[in-house]
């Protein structure tokens, strides 16, 4: 903005302007010799005796503008405007000078005066639109653009101006809509295409940004701007390999380009190369130490590297009157970007009605669980990470049990993530199961496939071996598509299927059908309150059936979560869920729960 007004001001700031008889000769000689300070002294002495000489105030303003002394130039122009209040060119010039001095409100007031005196002048109207945009005065800017449209007979300038106003003011969804309307009329405007794509990125809509980049390439061929914006979109989508290929190529020509280095750091983080990402961040902090973008990038990269303690608690109740209360503590100490130490404890209390078949085997209503563990997580390479937890658990009169969980995170490519996992613990789904001391040894394979930029397919294969002789298998598949990415909302829609079954039907306090199947439509929403807080909502609705039912029944569930302080020292996650006519582990058809987790980062 300041550069724009500097060009305008210097274009009008001509110290060797047309001479006036009222201008002292020695002042003109000082100007011609480049003795600006001498000329200023001469003119101010003359004005001290005759302050009504508008020509001298103008020459003072021109010299101060030439010396980039914009506050002094503005003061001189104010005197000229006072002497000739009906001259619109003076108000326009004063507005330019005030804008260069950083006085945006004064600049807007002055250009409004110029427009009032010369309402047909397009230069004044365009200046008013820009200044109103800078001042955040949306109605004034729109008024200026509408007047321009009336005088030019075309509304394309208005459409583009309002789109830029919206982008400037943070109304990104409106800005995108405006840019698209403009490009439908003027598709050959290269800079507007770039503005549209950048704005898509600012609101997190990287799939559409990539599509629009291909349209840009068709119109203008691939250039550096295309490469930079494509790399940024790919990096944020987790497509680290092509993003790094582009940034490495660009940095070979300009190794100290902070914008490209930032994209590289994001791609390195996505590629599970945190040490290199932090090294790149340090380069950026040297180049641009005090910018908002650098601070935001530092939060994004350093927050996962902070040690933390998390306390959690939740409570649930279902239609079989099983009440479950759980609370615990987890600590994580980050030893290096690749290695961290973990420890935690977990306590549960389960209650059920006496005589329900879900109560404690000794006739009591409740049963307790206590467990503790230590563990570690280590990244062996960008493609392979592993974690291990070892501990013990106790439940009432049952013997203490060893517990463990071990897993590998395998990043086969940008598109494929797999996690094989094994574990052992009590099967704590009801007081009956817990009081019987039933242990579960389980093996799972979790996968996530992200073909393209809009699709995600998650799946799970699981097998459980229970200590009461029962065995359980499960298969689930859940593809979804990113449907909308706006400034405030992300919405995904998909389908889900789940099948599981047990080898035996036992009366041990848990739901063990021979075969269960469920097919549902799913929806996931994410409401971005701001960069640090958000609300998430997951919904599913469909049909389900087990081997004891003659036909499918309808059922659904909903989970709402709040995330507060995502990048802060204190981070709070809260949730509530309801389930209607969908089988739970205890056997109930309906249930609900709520809970929270509070994390303190160090």
Other Cβ atoms closer than 10 A to 26: 12
105-111 contacts, C-beta under 8 A, 24 or more apart = 105/135, 106/74, 107/5, 107/131, 108/132, 108/134, 108/135, 108/137, 108/140, 110/81
The confidence score (pLDDT) of residue 198 equals 97
Angle between helices 25-32 and 54-66 (to 10 degrees): 20
Report DSSP state, residue 552: -
Domains by residue range for the chain, with CATH: 1-153 (1.25.40.10), 380-601 (2.40.160.50)
Give the mean model confidence (pLDDT) for residues 485-504: 97
Q: Strand, helix or coil at 146?
A: helix
Rounded to whole angstroms, how far apart are CA atoms 589 and 318? 8
In this predicted structure, the answer to whether residue 1 has a pLDDT above a threshold of 50 is no
Give the mean model confidence (pLDDT) for residues 1-14: 40
Rounded to whole angstroms, how far apart are CA atoms 331 and 602? 11
In this predicted structure, the answer to whether residue 21 has a pLDDT above a threshold of 60 is no
Q: Average pLDDT over the chain, rounded to whole?
A: 92
Contact 511, 358 (CB under 8 A): no
Give the residue with greater pLDDT, 582 vs 351.
351
pLDDT-derived band of residue 13, with 50, 70 and 90 as boundaries?
A: very low
Rounded to whole angstroms, how far apart are CA atoms 391 and 386? 17
Give the mean model confidence (pLDDT) for residues 538-561: 96
Q: Which residues contact 141 (CB under 8 A, 6 or more apart)?
A: 128, 129, 132, 133, 161, 162, 165
Query: Using one digit for the tens of pLDDT, what is the confidence trace for 505-517?
Result: 999 999 999 999 9
The confidence score (pLDDT) of residue 398 equals 67
- pTM to 2 decimals? 0.84
Give the residue with greater pLDDT, 152 vs 375.
375
CA 338, distance to chain mean position in Å, is 25
In this predicted structure, the answer to whether residue 118 has a pLDDT above a threshold of 70 is yes
- The percentage of residues in the chain with a pLDDT greater than 70, rounded to a whole number, is 96
CB-based burial, 347-384: b 16+ in 10 Å, e otherwise: ebbbbbeeebebbbbeeebbbbbebbbebbbebeeeee
Give the mean model confidence (pLDDT) for residues 93-111: 92
Pairing verdict, β 339-351 and 366-381: antiparallel
Q: Strand, helix or coil at 408?
A: strand
CA 418, distance to chain mean position in Å, is 25
The confidence score (pLDDT) of residue 30 equals 87
The confidence score (pLDDT) of residue 397 equals 65
Contact 417, 410 (CB under 8 A): yes
Query: Using one digit for the tens of pLDDT, what is the confidence trace for 337-371?
Result: 999 999 999 999 999 999 899 999 988 999 999 99
Give the residue with greater pLDDT, 179 vs 134.
179
Give the mean model confidence (pLDDT) for residues 455-484: 97
User: 341 - beta bridge partners?
Assistant: 333, 376
């Amino acid at each position: 903005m300041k550069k724009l007004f500097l060009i305008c001001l210097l274009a009008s700031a001509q110290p060797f302007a047309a001479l006036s008889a009222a201008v002292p000769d020695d002042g003109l000689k000082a100007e011609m010799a480049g003795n600006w300070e001498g000329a200023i002294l001469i003119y101010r002495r003359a004005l001290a005796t005759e302050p009504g000489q508008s020509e001298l105030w103008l020459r003072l303003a021109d010299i101060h503008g030439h010396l980039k002394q914009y506050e002094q130039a503005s003061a001189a122009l104010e005197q000229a405007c006072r002497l000739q209040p009906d001259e619109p060119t003076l108000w326009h010039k004063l507005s330019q000078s005030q804008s260069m001095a950083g006085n945006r409100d004064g600049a807007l007031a002055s250009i409004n005066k110029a427009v009032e005196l010369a309402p047909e002048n397009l230069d004044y109207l365009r200046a008013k639109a820009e200044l109103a945009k800078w001042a955040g005065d949306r109605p004034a800017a729109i008024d200026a653009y509408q007047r321009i449209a009336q005088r030019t007979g075309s509304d394309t300038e208005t459409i583009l101006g309002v789109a830029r106003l919206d982008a400037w003011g943070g109304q990104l969804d409106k800005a995108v809509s405006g840019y698209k309307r403009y490009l439908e009329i003027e598709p050959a405007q290269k800079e507007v295409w770039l503005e549209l794509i950048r704005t898509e990125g600012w609101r997190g809509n990287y799939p559409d940004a990539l599509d629009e980049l291909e349209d840009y390439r068709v119109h203008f061929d691939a250039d550096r701007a295309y490469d930079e914006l494509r790399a940024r979109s790919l990096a944020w989508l987790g497509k680290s390999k092509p993003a790094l290929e582009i940034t490495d190529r660009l940095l070979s020509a300009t190794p100290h380009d902070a914008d490209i280095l930032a994209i590289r750091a994001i791609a390195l983080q996505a590629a599970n190369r945190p040490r290199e990402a932090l090294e790149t961040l340090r380069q950026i902090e040297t180049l641009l130490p005090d910018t908002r973008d650098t601070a935001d990038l530092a939060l994004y990269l350093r927050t996962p590297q902070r040690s933390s303690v998390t306390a959690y608690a939740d409570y649930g109740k279902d239609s079989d009157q099983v009440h479950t209360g759980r609370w615990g503590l987890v600590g994580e100490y980050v030893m290096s970007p690749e290695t961290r130490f973990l420890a935690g404890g977990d306590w549960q209390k389960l209650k059920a009605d006496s005589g329900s078949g879900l109560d404690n085997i000794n006739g009591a209503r409740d049963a307790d669980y206590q467990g503790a563990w230590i563990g570690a997580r280590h990244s062996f390479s960008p493609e392979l990470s592993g974690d291990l937890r070892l501990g013990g658990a106790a439940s009432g009169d049952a013997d203490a049990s060893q517990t463990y969980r071990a897993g590998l995170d395998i990043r086969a490519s940008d598109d494929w993530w797999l996690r094989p996992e094994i574990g052992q613990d009590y099967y704590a789904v009801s007081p009956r199961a817990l009081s019987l001391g039933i242990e579960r040894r389980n093996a799972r394979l979790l996968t996530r496939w992200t073909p393209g930029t809009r699709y995600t397919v998650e799946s799970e294969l699981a097998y459980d071996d229970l200590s009461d002789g029962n065995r359980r298998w499960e298969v689930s598949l859940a593809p979804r598509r990113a449907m909308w990415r706006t400034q405030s909302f992300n919405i995904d829609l998909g389908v889900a299927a789940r099948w599981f079954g047990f080898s035996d039907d036992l009366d041990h306090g848990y739901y063990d059908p021979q075969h269960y199947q469920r097919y549902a439509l799913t929806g996931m929403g994410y409401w971005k309150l701001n960069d640090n807080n958000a609300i998430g909502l997951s919904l599913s609705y469909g049909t389900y059936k087990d081997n004891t039912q003659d036909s499918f029944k309808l059922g659904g569930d909903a989970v709402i979560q709040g995330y507060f302080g995502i990048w802060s020292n204190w981070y709070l996650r809260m949730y509530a869920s309801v389930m209607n006519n969908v089988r739970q582990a205890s056997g109930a058809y309906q249930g609900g729960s709520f809970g929270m987790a509070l994390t303190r980062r160090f």
